Amino acid sequence: MQSLNSALLTSILHIADEAGKHLADFYAKSVKISMKADNTPVTEADLFISQFLTEKLQQLTPSIPVLSEEKCNIPLLKRQHWQEYWIIDPLDGTQQFIDRTDQFSIVIGLVQQNCPVLGVIHAPILDKTYFAFQNGGAYLREKEKYHLLTNSRLSMDNKMARLRITMGSINPKVLSCVRPPYEAELFQYGSSSLKAGLVAEGKADCYLRLGDTGEWDTAAAEILLSEIGGAIFDLQFQPLVYNQRETFINPHFVMVANKRLAWKTILQFN
């Protein structure tokens, strides 16, 4: 099993930075766009970065398989024997990339024994990188400055507490999930992993996703939030699972900055 340490993390950050430079080059010009079978867009940047990351990770750790969103046609029968693997989203937020919002990222995660243990979320245009590994803390590197991420919001016992929820698009269903006396303040942001970053920074209390995502969208976020005392859970308040199903599609979920809050009291799902 790959040892988790600062040297490994430094290597992954370097790979993410290299990939980010390539992605920025693609962003500066027009790219070819096509549609995948699930009717979501994919660009030549997605495919190039996927191949680049795969090659770099295989050079770094030849014995660890790499699972990419753009190369995930691997049956469970084969991958269920994996004790560890890299899971990558070469361009999380392809639509944001196309729409030129700057709010997209490169995501690299390491999963050991079906649990995310290391994650890097790199947004090259925003110059923000979130990273964490198990028992090593969670950090934000922004414009070459490093910040330790901590859980700053310890309680929500104000009777008129406002719950700041980040989303990809404003969904009225979310408002009905928030129980009185709590109130929701909704705001939109870019890729799924960057919304997780806002939760980790304390700029949002949670990210509520009522729509499909892949395991590559949440693995790095899982360890990032875990290291600050946060969590990701489905609408039955159960944890997400990794590499245990034929499908990679996650159930709808909530990412929270503080798992100790009474989320079963704050949120209700029909």
Is 217 within any annotated ligand binding site? yes
89 marked as binding residue: yes
Confirm whether residue 91 is marked as ligand binding. yes
- Residue 89's Cβ-count burial label (10 Å; 0-12, 13-18, 19+) is buried
Residue 256 CA to residue 262 CA, distance in Å, equals: 11
- Is 92 annotated in a binding site? The answer is yes
- Classify residue 106 as left (phi > 0), alpha (psi -120 to 50) or beta: beta
201 is in an annotated binding site: no
Which residues carry a binding-site annotation for substrate?
69, 91-94, 217
Which residues carry a binding-site annotation for Mg(2+)?
69, 89, 91-92, 217
Which residues carry a binding-site annotation?
69, 89, 91-94, 217
